[in-house]
A = this chain, B = another copy of it.
Amino acid sequence: MAKRLKFWGWGYEDEVVPPAELRWMESTWAERFGVAGFSVTPTPAAAEIRLPAPRIAPPASLAAICTTDHYERVLHSYSKSFPDIIRVYRRECPSPADVVALPRNERDVVDLLDWCYGANAAVVPFGGGSSVVGGVTPPTGGGHAAVVSMDLRNLGKVLEIDEVSQCARIQAGTFGPSLEAQLKGAGLTLRHFPQSFQCSTLGGWIATRAGGHFATLYTHIDDLVESLRVVTPSGVLETRRLPGSGAGPSPDRMFIGSEGTLGVITEAWMRLRRRPGFRATATVKFGDFYRGTDAVRALAQSGLYPANCRILDAEESQYNGLADGRHSVLVVAFESADHPVEAPLKRALELCRDFGGEADMGAGEASHLEGAAGRWRERFMFLPYFKEHMAARCIFRDAYETAITWDRFKDFHASIREAGLAAIRKATGREGSVSCRFTHVYPDGPAPYLTFHGLSSSPERLMSDYWAVKSAASDAIIAGGGTITHHHAVGREHRPWYDRQRPELFACALRAAKSALDPKWLLNPGLLVDRNPA
């Protein structure tokens, strides 16, 4: 165990934003909100977080794989959601994990579940803990006697590689970088690169329907799952390795997105591909955001299937160093392990020109790391590291990521933006900002990602201001016909809007399925469905 994950923010303890970069960002924020500077709440030390004594102790047979170490309990008592980061900075820990379990293999997972069932302890499956929606935050209330956070980090191996079918059997606790490193020798890659890649795991991606690298076609992890192995309180389940099937409703699809409520995913056969050797990238400027999104629609419906196809509005483009604040920018890229991809890029740029887009074309294989597109990529992976620094300065920032059909997109986008801006103004008495980019696009609609910034007048107001804005934007998403989440999952924080989004009869079916697999409702109680509907 070299590196420890931060409990107070994004990434690992040794990953700090360089002071010069932080100063530059601080001046950007000060300019945005028209303030001279910020008072900064210091980063908490683990010792400042006070925890009650654990309510249960593991039996001797499981003691070696359980810990009540203070740091571990603190780390497993928060997700990386903005409200959880606020709590960390307030040194509050309202729902701590009593015990952290660290199974070494599937047998341990079975034994731990048996123990929890006997002890009436709720179980929270934990991958990298990078949920931004309270997905790993221990439940409060409910009938359980204690909470065990089950961290799968010791299930981190690629167990088997099938080079012929280009698949691998991978343990659920494998982190992104380790997963890719273990595949590299075979020349294969999963190419699933969510923004959380460094600090999230395969099991977490599957349980939350994570969105990855590809802007079209293979957008979610869902399509990359060939088969699953899941430990439920009622037994162990394994689906067949099948490239395709029409035999009844898909068993895999029931567990994909189940967010730890139906079982603990222990391993999966995943579909891989060869590493791409051919690449072509360009950025395209548009004077008007909606002209740009019209171009993206044409691209999404062209059958060209670009690997990257992400448009940023003028504000995001400027923030990411892509443009001057007057232009929206589309980053479009193609990649292949098999054939050159200049021709589809050329056709994509023709389509963009039809909507007034001016291309700045990268050249050759390394173009994805150069120029504006490369700058965007770098900034993109770095962004989550700023969140804790913003919370420390009473700036709330969050993203509302959704999906909507093209016919409704413009009104939908405008309504969320207006709801957000009005709510920020009302809550904080100050102008905030709402910017937009697309993370993924489909022939029938985009996945818009709206980023909100507001400045609260005091640390005491930060939580309520945040929720006032979150609620207004989420209400607009549901009212406009969108999904409360395209790829961040439901967690504890999206739950009220998820309840309004999903058909009640589906909730009934899901409730029944959960009762069949988890009869005591101890797996992540309160996530997705309740035992007794309101």
Binding site for B on A (CB under 8 A): 162, 164-167, 208-211, 217, 219-220, 226, 232, 234-251, 253-259, 262, 271, 273-274, 297, 301-305, 336-339, 343-344, 347, 403-407, 440, 442-447, 481-490, 494, 498, 501-506, 508-513, 515-517, 528
14 residue pairs A–B, Cβ–Cβ below 8 Å: A165-B405, A209-B245, A235-B505, A237-B504, A244-B440, A246-B257, A247-B483, A248-B502, A248-B510, A251-B502, A273-B303, A339-B344, A339-B347, A505-B517
Q: Name the CB-closest residue of B to A211.
A: B246
In the complex, the answer to whether B244 meets A486 with C-beta atoms within 8 Å is yes
In the complex, the answer to whether A485 meets B405 with C-beta atoms within 8 Å is no
In the complex, the answer to whether A245 meets B445 with C-beta atoms within 8 Å is no
In the complex, the answer to whether A447 meets B243 with C-beta atoms within 8 Å is yes
Residue of A254, A274, A446 ringed by the most chain B CB atoms within 10 A = A254
Chain B residues with Cβ under 8 A from A210's Cβ? 246
- A247–B485 Cα gap in the complex (Å)? 6
Q: Name the CB-closest residue of B to A447.
A: B244
Chain B residues with Cβ under 8 A from A484's Cβ? 247
In the complex, the answer to whether B167 meets A254 with C-beta atoms within 8 Å is no
- A166–B407 Cα gap in the complex (Å)? 9
Chain A binding surface, main DSSP class: loop
Q: Name the CB-closest residue of B to A509.
A: B513
Q: What would 16 more interface pairs be, CB under 8 Å, given A166-B443, A508-B517?
A: A162-B405, A165-B406, A167-B405, A209-B246, A219-B244, A220-B246, A242-B403, A245-B486, A246-B489, A247-B501, A262-B509, A274-B301, A302-B339, A303-B338, A303-B339, A305-B305
- A262–B406 Cα gap in the complex (Å)? 31
- A506–B219 Cα gap in the complex (Å)? 26
- A259–B248 Cα gap in the complex (Å)? 7
Chain B residues with Cβ under 8 A from A487's Cβ? 246
Indicate which residue in B166, B302, B337, B509 contacts A516 across the interface (CB closer than 8 Å): B509
- A209–B251 Cα gap in the complex (Å)? 14
In the complex, the answer to whether B509 meets A517 with C-beta atoms within 8 Å is yes
Q: Name the CB-closest residue of B to A505.
A: B237
Chain B residues with Cβ under 8 A from A445's Cβ? 165, 242-244
Chain B residues with Cβ under 8 A from A442's Cβ? 243-244
In the complex, the answer to whether A251 meets B303 with C-beta atoms within 8 Å is no
Chain B residues with Cβ under 8 A from A485's Cβ? 245-247
In the complex, the answer to whether A220 meets B244 with C-beta atoms within 8 Å is yes
In the complex, the answer to whether B246 meets A255 with C-beta atoms within 8 Å is no
Chain B residues with Cβ under 8 A from A245's Cβ? 209, 403, 483, 485-486
- A255–B162 Cα gap in the complex (Å)? 32
In the complex, the answer to whether A258 meets B253 with C-beta atoms within 8 Å is no
Q: Name the CB-closest residue of B to A229.
A: B503
- A228–B220 Cα gap in the complex (Å)? 21
- A104–B157 Cα gap in the complex (Å)? 56
Chain B residues with Cβ under 8 A from A274's Cβ? 301
Residue of A164, A234, A235, A302 ringed by the most chain B CB atoms within 10 A = A164
